[in-house]
Amino acid sequence: MSADTKLRLAGVGKRFALKDKAEAVAVQDFSLDIRQGEFLVIVGPSGCGKTTCLRMAAGLEFPGTGIVRVGGKTVTGPGPDRSVVFQQFALFPWKTVAQNIDFGLRSIGIPAAERARRIAHYIELMNLQGYESAFPHQLSGGMQQRVAIARSYVLDPAVLLMDEPFGALDAQTRTVMQEELIKLSRVNPRTVLFITHAVEEAVYLADRVVVMTRRPGRIKEIVDVGSVRRAENWDRHDRVEEVMDQASFVHLRTRIWRLLREQQAEHEH
């Protein structure tokens, strides 16, 4: 394991029991190293086991074969060093915005003054000023997901796990959130494992995109986006659509689309 590998999945396989003693293979022979500070996105057709991979990294599920390691330690269960942003936000409805962000911080035993400082920092960073004592149901979907992202970032985890975090948002809100996440990851570079089925989103956010095959989920190809991003200086654009207009972006997007379409064809024949 190289020194800068933060999250490692090695030879991971996972089966699920179906009715009548049948089994479905969700993930097979899946090996992936996520480097320190890397934004890694897994794309794949629905049911390809990409969420299963994330859950195994989170410690919410365990591999049948192979190992999952974070920072050199085998994952034995969930923990605040691998906080998760869920598609359905998963905010506590009875806690205010500030209390939601504070919840995990309390459990890892951060002193009150430091907690207050960190909460204020992320409230500002995620444009949530004035909503500290609002309950989640009083906020729009986009704002709720900002609270959830703040709640995960504030824990300063070794790896941030994002399970289709923008999947439940409308198209405009989704675009704004993608831009904000890019800005946030520039201010606070973190090791991120991000799951999506949206190809544009993957290319826009990722340093590397892992394309998965249909069930059983394996790695079809790993596409390096980071080198193109840096070479073409995508980061000089503030808006998603400007980046998406770049020939280099279109090229990568089309390449990933083809990889996904090939499997579709294989699947149908």
Q: List contacts with another protein (CB under 8 A).
A: 58-60, 77-80, 82-84, 86, 88, 90, 92-95, 103-104, 107-108, 135-137, 151, 155, 161
CB 233 to another protein: min, Å: 35
Output 26 or 84, the one with its CB closest to another protein: 84
CB 63 to another protein: min, Å: 17
CB 107 to another protein: min, Å: 5
CB 81 to another protein: min, Å: 8
Do the beta carbons of residue 193 and residue 39 sit within 8 Å? no
Output 95 or 197, the one with its CB closest to another protein: 95
Do the beta carbons of residue 66 and residue 13 sit within 8 Å? yes
CB 58 to another protein: min, Å: 6
Output 77 or 130, the one with its CB closest to another protein: 77
Task: Note the Cα 208 to chain centre separation in Å.
Answer: 12
Output 159 or 240, the one with its CB closest to another protein: 159
Output 160 or 203, the one with its CB closest to another protein: 160
CB 166 to another protein: min, Å: 16
Output 107 or 264, the one with its CB closest to another protein: 107
- Distance (Å) of CA 57 to CA 48, 69, 131, 239: 16, 8, 32, 31
CB 149 to another protein: min, Å: 13
The side-by-side arrangement of strands in the sheet containing 219-224 is 84-85, 160-163, 192-196, 39-43, 208-212, 219-224
Q: What span, in angstroms and rounded, lies between the C-alpha atoms of 59 and 148?
A: 19
Output 95 or 237, the one with its CB closest to another protein: 95
